[in-house]
Amino acid sequence: MMDVSRLRKLQAELGVTFHNQRLLQQAFTHTSYVNEHHSAQHNERLEFLGDAVLELAVSQYLYKTYPDRPEGELTRLRASIVCEPSLCVFAERLNFGQSIWLGKGEEQTGGRTRPSLLADVFEAFIGALYLDQGLNAVEKFLQATVFNQLKVEQKNKLKDPKSTFQERTQQLDLGQVVYRLVEDRGPSHEKRFVSEVAVGDRTLGMGEGRSKKESEQQAATVALKQLGRG
């Protein structure tokens, strides 16, 4: 039996009340829970929808916020926002991990703090909110929880991690930056990619993501920390 009290508390904290509570419950239901409780519905379809809604909402926000920025910069900034590391941070700030329904095995192996799982739940929540109340509600939620924070964190920072890392290595004259795909695993609809970034003969970072590009961005983020820029 699902304990829905956690979601009532979460809605109060977020200032968002769902008309259809089952949509909200589905958004926080991981496949591992459904494997043990067959009457429940997992959140993967909502995750798929939420990804597209996030792309649109973030694109519209950037288009309006930076009217003088060219397409390339807006694309890079959007990629730095709608990616697993950023979505995980948003979910952590909102304490989403405490409200997820997990199977026993996933619970025991630390699923509540797994970055990929938290990012997926954030997307599923956005998908559920869109179905329940529309795009305006999604934009209002993102404005309050994500966009206002971005203004503080990225006021003068419109470069993605790969671009920042490239510039940093050039400044330090460290040599050529090379990204390599180390591994791709999982079925075609749930691929996970692992990439590494090296400078010269030294590997400085490894990253994982749902696309090759995303894994490279994550690897660059790790490498920047190695250089003392994280």
Residue type (1 letter), 123: E
Backbone torsions φ then ψ of 178, nearest 5 degrees: -130, 130
The active-site residue, picked from 51, 160, 196, 216, is: 51
Q: How many C-beta atoms surround the C-beta of residue 228 within 10 A?
A: 7
The pair of three-digit structure tokens given for residue 95, joined into one six-digit string: 């304490």
**Cα–Cα dist 123/151, whole Å:** 21
For residue 101, what is the enclosing H or E element? none
Which DSSP category does 4 fall into? T
196 a catalytic residue: no
The active-site residue, picked from 84, 120, 123, 216, is: 123
214 a catalytic residue: no
Residues 6+ apart with CB under 8 A from 88: 115, 116, 118, 119, 122
β strands within the chain, DSSP E: 177-185, 192-199, 202-209
Active-site residues, by number, are: 51, 123
